[in-house]
Chain A
Amino acid sequence: MSRPFVQLQNVNKSYWRDSLEIPVLNDVNLDLPEGEFVALMGPSGSGKTTLLNLIAGIDRPSSGNVIVRGQNVSRLSEGDLARWRSDNIGFVFQFYNLMPVLTAYENVELPLLLTKLSRSERRRQVETALSIVGLADRMKHYPNQLSGGQEQRVAIARAVVTDPVLILADEPTGDLDKVSAQEVMDLLSRLNHEFNKTIIMVTHDPRAAEKAHTQRHLDKGVLNSHESPQAG
């Protein structure tokens, strides 16, 4: 087997509230190969979002290493980390987190503003991303003119527009009805097998989790060592 794509080594994370230490992740170890699609499950408050944030380089572990494609993320300076995020990570949020004052097009374009691409190159990439999520005809719409499912698809377009290697999704269907959730899950599956994106997805929804290759469970900050492979 090749070098692991995402690797967590003895990761601990605590938050501090006043002088009280709140342990969130407890000695988490994880090895993911490239092209993996993992569903991360577990009760509320078990530390799923925290784990995702550490892999995304949005937060730093209290101890241990987060290594993505050989890069020890925890060692990067803040500025380098921001650049690293924009180059490598596509993040999908439960509540989409689109900028309400920007159109679908402008929202998807945002991450490209951090690149050296010309306006016309950006346009081509935004159009490609929006057509992958099936919303090429909604470019000029504002978030409040879109349904929840459409908003989440715009957010997915934003996550993939820079062609990142790793997509992290935090309950991407958590706020959606069944049909929209199904669409979003189909889209993520497609990104995984058609575009070979490695995906880590937090979800409470067993139906969504079925789309993943493997499921991992987090409980009170402890990641189950047992992998449960999926048939489909």
Chain B
Amino acid sequence: MLLVNYSYKNLLARKLTSILTVFGVALVVFVFCAVLMLSNGLRETLVSTGADSNAIVIRRASQTELQSIIFRDMANIIKADPAVARDTEGRPLATGEILVLISKYKRDSNEPSNVPVRGVTEMSITLRPRFELVEGRMWQPGTSEIIAGSKVAGSFRGCGLGETVRFGMREWTVVGIFEAGGTGFESELWGDVDQLMDAFGRPVFSSITVKLGSPSEFETMRARLEGDPRLEVEVNREKKYYEDQSKFTTVFINAMGLTISIIFSLGAIVGAMITMYAAVANRTVEIGTLRALGFSRTAVLWAFLVESMILAITGGLIGVTAAAFLRLVEVSTTNWDTFAELAFSFEMSGSIVVFAMVFAVAMGLVGGFLPAVRAARFRIVNALRTK
């Protein structure tokens, strides 16, 4: 590390190759970050969809609401559980909902994709404090009116305010647009649960969501409900339930992204290696001189390793910074855990920054190591004799 200044000034002296190498590393780090941000964004959106104090009850072994059936009598047993919070009038803060996927065409691509339609009750909105009607109005009871999450309204044909969309053998008019703090609900259509049960000919709930009197009562409630022979249900914290819906897709995105990044990184590593080998060859006499002055092989090794590390770290910082701007980009894609279309944003996190920088440094080390070893192995007399 004695020769840091020497390393640094050499990089400045060969600007073009330095910039190209930095650019290569930056590109790889950018791709790497983008992928991790994508899966992180998906996960974060789903995690934020759940509330800490809510629990969701679905039929045992059904994994998601879509495969779950909860009969009305079961719903009443669940709502009556002592762990469920109650409002001032003594009504349980619990809601039975139905969730169905319908296939609709996207506005931009004209491709069909799955939109979740959720039948909800008045209580559903109380349990989702981030729900906010931003345009239009709520549906009128007993009519074929629905409201659309802001992401659906924008990206699916027939789902904008005032438009009509056909499903369940009825025409539904979108009378309002809602937001829900960027959560997964914004990718859903919401309507009155009774109307939707009727339209789909499916007089059962998909799930019961309840607000707990206190989050610490979750385990006892779970034991009670899951042990009840009349129910055959599984109880999850709402947060965990939604987080689990990101598992398969995030693993898939991460695996694919890592594979791509590693393949790309080979290019960047070879680039750095060529640059560094050329640097070593051009500076053979300088290396011999440094050694003659008393610098050890290790000092020379570090001088070149530091050079490639500076390149890599600079590239890493640029890549991470550029990727940070992806947060402004919103994507919408099928969540392979639920097969429903989900809109979310690229999301940066501290651990992504750390991973990306570790990745960049690793590229620098791998690319710089062999050239640095070569520099360190020169015999002094031979190095000094080169012209």
Contact = CB atoms under 8 A, between A and B. Distances in A.
Contact of B380 (A58, A83, A87, A106): A58
A115 to B, nearest CB: 10
B292 A110 contact: no
B6 A82 contact: no
Interface stretch (B40-48, B214-222, B283-291, B333-341): B283-291
A110 B296 contact: no
Given A58-B381, A102-B9, A97 B285 contact: yes
B294 interface: yes
Contact of B6 (A59, A79, A99): A99
Interface residues of B, dominant DSSP: helix
B10 A59 contact: no
B2 interface: yes
B286 A99 contact: yes
Contacts of A114: 2, 293-295
Interface in A110-136: 110-111, 113-114
Interface string A80-108: 00111111010101000101111000100
Contact of A101 (B13, B291, B381, B384): B13
Nearest to B291: A82
Contact of A106 (B5, B13, B292, B293): B5
B295 A97 contact: no
Interface string B1-15: 011011001101100
Given A53-B381, A59-B381, A97-B285, A91 B296 contact: no
Nearest to B379: A59
A122 B295 CA distance: 17
A170 B285 CA distance: 15
Contact of A111 (B286, B288, B293, B297): B293
Contacts of B9: 101-102, 106
B3 A113 contact: yes
Contacts, number: 63
B380 A91 contact: no
B2 A91 contact: no
A113 B2 contact: yes
Contacts of A83: 294
A113 B294 CA distance: 10
A7 to B, nearest CB: 21
Contacts of B285: 97
Contacts of A111: 293-294
B5 A86 contact: no
Interface residues of A, dominant DSSP: helix
A123 B13 CA distance: 24
Contact of A93 (B289, B290, B297): B289
Which of B6, B9, B288, B289 has the largest count of A CB atoms less than 10 A from its CB? Answer: B289
Contacts of B6: 99, 101-102, 106, 110
Contacts of A87: 294
B381 A110 contact: no
A56 interface: yes
Contacts of B292: 56, 58, 85, 91
A82 B294 contact: yes
B13 A100 contact: yes
A89 B380 CA distance: 15
Contacts of A106: 5-6, 9
Nearest to B385: A49
B294 A85 contact: yes
Given A82-B295, A106-B5, A113-B2, A97 B380 contact: no
Given A93-B289, A101-B10, A102-B9, A59 B294 contact: no
A85 B380 CA distance: 13
Nearest to A158: B293
29 contacts: A50-B381, A53-B380, A58-B292, A58-B380, A58-B384, A59-B380, A59-B381, A82-B291, A82-B296, A83-B294, A84-B294, A85-B292, A86-B293, A86-B294, A87-B294, A93-B289, A97-B285, A99-B286, A101-B9, A101-B10, A101-B12, A106-B9, A110-B6, A110-B290, A111-B293, A111-B294, A114-B2, A114-B293, A114-B294
Interface of A: 50, 53, 56, 58-59, 78-79, 82-87, 89, 91, 93, 97, 99-102, 106, 110-111, 113-114, 158
Q: Please list the 9 inter-chain residue pairs (A to B) with the smallest Cβ-Cβ separation, ordered nearest first.
A: A86-B294, A101-B9, A97-B289, A85-B294, A101-B13, A113-B2, A58-B380, A59-B381, A82-B296
